[in-house]
Structure 1
């Protein structure tokens, strides 16, 4: 079987990388396609995957409309040469449209349910896999499963933390540090939402830096006095940095969930209420607030607990979830097996 993975965000490389390797190990041929948006291409290079770059990502509305036509055509041309049996993406319309025109199947594995994207890909899609925690009803093609996207690449079967990251960061073996993640608020699902105020960001860094090292990763510029704390790192090192942190404060949902899965306590600050973060709060891993000023109280609460408590909570949480990558792999083998052959006893089970 030939499979095209279409990448629309750096997180999608992480989401699909272990699935792609499992497919390759079982004799399937894999090709990635991507737009040059953030650091998708760097991640694909670091992972050693074969990929095709469709060019720069468009950010304006007219650019996005032009991009829909341009990338549709590029995907179709790639498909004509590669002749895929299956397209897999986080619900990109380009993969769905090309699959329809080429007579291939399209599988969407997504966890946002942004309706403006769903209406573009759903008519041309065979199945939509979503975490059970996603409250949105995406129609009869939706199949729910008991896991998160982030578990697909941070499950202990696939992720081993590198203790050498401390040396790379320049922190001692017992030295504590915090990671602060600020986002750009440019994504479609971020419109109308907010996180920490500029004043509270400065105040938080000043307070934390009295207790530990502070590293900032931001999608956009920060105040001049915060620039010395900004961390520039190869994107493939980020999860190792998260794992050994004593604390994460994040405006972004993905980083918050990643931290929780790794057993690193996180304060998630955003007016965007995320179901994953809400569920993880029940396990004492992610602490949610919509108010910038409440962050300080939650940080004190988190740091008052012993660090190992959060590692134990993470293990408890993971025991309640499926290994997402294994679920995807078994689903694909069962549904899209060559020559109509099906697994007689597939291990994947949807959530009713």
Structure 2
């Protein structure tokens, strides 16, 4: 079977990487197309995947509307030549549109309820919508749910083993306390109009948190010059190793907040989007692995409490074990879903 996988974000590379390997090992032919966003292409290179870049995309509503037609056209050209049996992607209107144009089946994965524009552009055209079981919405007959999270497709212990070499790269030891922060651009279609830290709040948070340990910042946007010295500089495929060993994650990145929680690292998510996503409801209320705040000041106060608890990582490790016992092997589920999907 020939399968086209389109990735539009670094997290999508992680989501599909083990699935792609499974499918190839079973004899299926995979074509990867990718958007040049942040470190997406660097990750594909690091994992040894061959791919075709479909462009960079655009920001703002007007730019994104223009981008839909351009990306649809670019993907259509590639898909028509490759002749896939199935196309798949994460919340991906281009896959859905091109699949419909070519009269080929498409599978859409999503875990983002509030992405209303992408929903409107994608769901009517795709053949199957696959979400975590905690997804709040019922999307009808073509909607199926699984008992897991996107991030478990690459952070489940069947696939992820933390590499301590990342600590050496940053001149750290396993006993060093350090904090990972993330700031996002808020230019995704589902993020427009929302926010987290102001510039002043970023400066205050760094000034307070650096008292508790070393600080590393990842950011989609330029940092204030005072914070540039904290910018994390490691190969992008090593971020999950770092998160595993961190004392705390705090930031605006929703995916990174989920990743840290699943890895057993205390996680604080700051965003005006709090209380819009089912995965965070479950991670907070059922498993106690993440804290959700709309106000940076409240988040900072919680961070200080976490960072003064000497037993916090052990506590989070136990919570993580409970989560893993409850959840499925998401990679195996996705692999079998694609293979058994009726063409």
Report if TM-score (shorter chain) is over 0.5. Answer: yes
Kept in 2: contact 1:75–1:94 (CA 8 A): yes
- What's the CA shift for 1:333? 2.5
Q: Of 269, 279, 282, which residue of structure 2 is paired with 1:279?
A: 282
1:300 aligns with 2:304: yes
Q: Distance in 2 between matches of 1:195 and 1:60?
A: 18
Deviations along 1:76-124, one digit per CA (max 9) or x if unpaired, are 2212211100001013222112212222110001111423222222232
Q: Please name the residue that 2:151 is paired with.
A: 150
- What's the CA shift for 1:305? 5.1
Q: Which runs of 4+ in 1 moved over 4 A?
A: none
Kept in 2: contact 1:108–1:127 (CA 8 A): yes
Deviations along 1:261-319, one digit per CA (max 9) or x if unpaired, are 00000111112123322211232211111111112221122222512111121111121
Which segments of 5 or more consecutive residues in structure 1 lack a partner in the other structure?
338-352
Q: Distance in 1 between matches of 2:132 and 2:310?
A: 30
Q: Please name the residue that 2:179 is paired with.
A: 178
Q: Please name the residue that 1:91 is paired with.
A: 91
User: What secondary structure sits across from 1:24 in the alignment?
Assistant: helix
Q: Distance in 2 between matches of 1:202 and 1:70?
A: 39
Kept in 1: contact 2:61–2:189 (CA 8 A): no
Q: Distance in 1 between matches of 2:118 and 2:300?
A: 36
Q: Distance in 2 between matches of 1:173 and 1:80?
A: 50
Kept in 1: contact 2:118–2:189 (CA 8 A): no
Q: Please name the residue that 2:124 is paired with.
A: 123
Kept in 1: contact 2:60–2:187 (CA 8 A): no
Matches within 5 A, 1:9-48: 9-48=9-48
1:332 aligns with 2:332: no
Q: Distance in 2 between matches of 1:70 and 1:195?
A: 31
Kept in 1: contact 2:109–2:131 (CA 8 A): yes
User: What secondary structure sits across from 1:189 in the alignment?
Assistant: coil
Q: Please name the residue that 2:224 is paired with.
A: 223
Q: Distance in 2 between matches of 1:222 and 1:259?
A: 22
Q: Distance in 1 between matches of 2:187 and 2:334?
A: 29
Q: Please name the residue that 1:317 is paired with.
A: 323
Q: Distance in 2 between matches of 1:110 and 1:99?
A: 17
Deviations along 1:220-273, one digit per CA (max 9) or x if unpaired, are 122221111111222111111111101110211111100000000011111212
Kept in 2: contact 1:278–1:288 (CA 8 A): no
TM-score, scaled relative to structure 1: 0.91
Q: Distance in 2 between matches of 1:204 and 1:92?
A: 35
Q: Please name the residue that 1:340 is paired with.
A: none
Count of residue correspondences:
337
Of residues 21-30 and 49-58 in structure 1, the stretch that sits farther from structure 2 once superposed is: 49-58
Deviations along 1:64-87, one digit per CA (max 9) or x if unpaired, are 223222221221221221110000
Which segments of 5 or more consecutive residues in structure 2 lack a partner in the other structure?
none
Of residues 64-73 and 264-273 in structure 1, the stretch that sits farther from structure 2 once superposed is: 64-73
User: What secondary structure sits across from 2:160 in the alignment?
Assistant: coil
Relative distance call for 1:196 and 1:64 in structure 2 (3 A) is: closer
Q: Distance in 2 between matches of 1:272 and 1:62?
A: 23
Matches within 5 A, 1:66-105: 66-105=66-105
Q: Distance in 2 between matches of 1:104 and 1:215?
A: 44
RMSD: 1.6
Kept in 2: contact 1:256–1:277 (CA 8 A): no
Q: Please name the residue that 2:271 is paired with.
A: 270
Q: Distance in 1 between matches of 2:138 and 2:192?
A: 21
Q: Please name the residue that 2:197 is paired with.
A: 196
User: What secondary structure sits across from 2:52 in the alignment?
Assistant: strand
TM-score, scaled relative to structure 2: 0.94
